[in-house]
Amino acid sequence: MSDLFRISVDGKQGTTFHGRVHVVHPDAGDVPPGHDFALKVILEVWHRIREGYVFDHPRFPDSAPDGGADIELHEEFERLRALDRGAHVTLTEEQADEVRAAGRITDRKAKSAAVAELMERHGVKRLGVGIIDGIPYLTGERDPEAFYARARELVTEYRVGEMRSWPPHWEYEEEDLAEFEEAGFDDPADAFDIAAFRERAERRDLDDYPHAEFTVTVTDPRYLEHIAGGIHLATAIYGEFGW
């Protein structure tokens, strides 16, 4: 999956952190306005730093938490990720081989029956073996509504500022720009600085992509223990609510 956004954390104070979201793919649209996206940012930073998939981060607590509170937080974050992405159903190697073998059955009727039996047995609605730390797993169903409800509880405020560097460079071809220069814009509300658009399209530095500042406030500072200014990552997370 292609990255949709670049997320930069600029600072944190207490229960609030702020940063910027850059839109780096045409499929992303605008910066998502819902609380679910704000919580996904928190979880994505937590998960990606633990896995080492970030461009830059200044610090991160030890992966082995000290004290009950940290363990509880770790477990809550895992539950939230399961709501958002689907819980992992751990398999033995024999079970994983059985799932893979079902996918190789050539007879359509026999394959359909084998797949249905395996999905019922493992409590999932699709078969696809993943591997984490050498352990095979299947992925259960997501529950985006429950995730959003939890996000509304944990995130007390989420603000997104005005979009900058708009429209994006992929929005118009040179022939479109020439037409605008010759005939003008059909709707004055859609007008933009064509010369500045050309400069951004040619340069394509990060701030030449559409971006907006954001601020997130949560109920408990523990949810932001892993957040600090200087974190920067690319991600394919997206928002489903609040539009």
pLDDT tens, the chain, 243 aa long: 689 999 999 999 999 999 999 999 999 989 999 999 999 999 999 988 887 776 665 554 444 334 344 788 989 999 999 999 999 999 999 999 999 999 999 999 999 999 999 999 999 999 999 998 899 999 999 999 999 999 999 999 999 999 999 999 999 999 999 999 988 898 888 899 999 999 999 999 999 999 999 999 999 999 999 999 999 999 999 999 987
Burial of 216 (0-12, 13-18, 19+ CB in 10 A): buried
Distance of alpha carbon 148 from alpha carbon 151, whole angstroms: 5
Contact 158, 216 (CB under 8 A): yes
Query: Can you say whether residue 88 is alpha, beta or left, with left for phi > 0 and alpha for psi between -120 and 50 degrees?
Result: beta
Which amino acid, 118? L
The C-alpha atoms of residue 65 and residue 21 are separated, in whole angstroms, by: 29
**Total Cβ atoms within 10 A of residue 235:** 21
Q: What pairing do the DSSP bridges indicate for beta strands 135-139 and 155-160? A: unpaired
Q: Residue 117 in 3-state DSSP?
A: helix
Virtual torsion, Cα 82, 224, 35, 89, nearest 10 deg: 0
What is the pTM assigned to this prediction? Answer: 0.83
The rounded distance, in Å, linking the Cα atoms of 80 and 40 is: 9
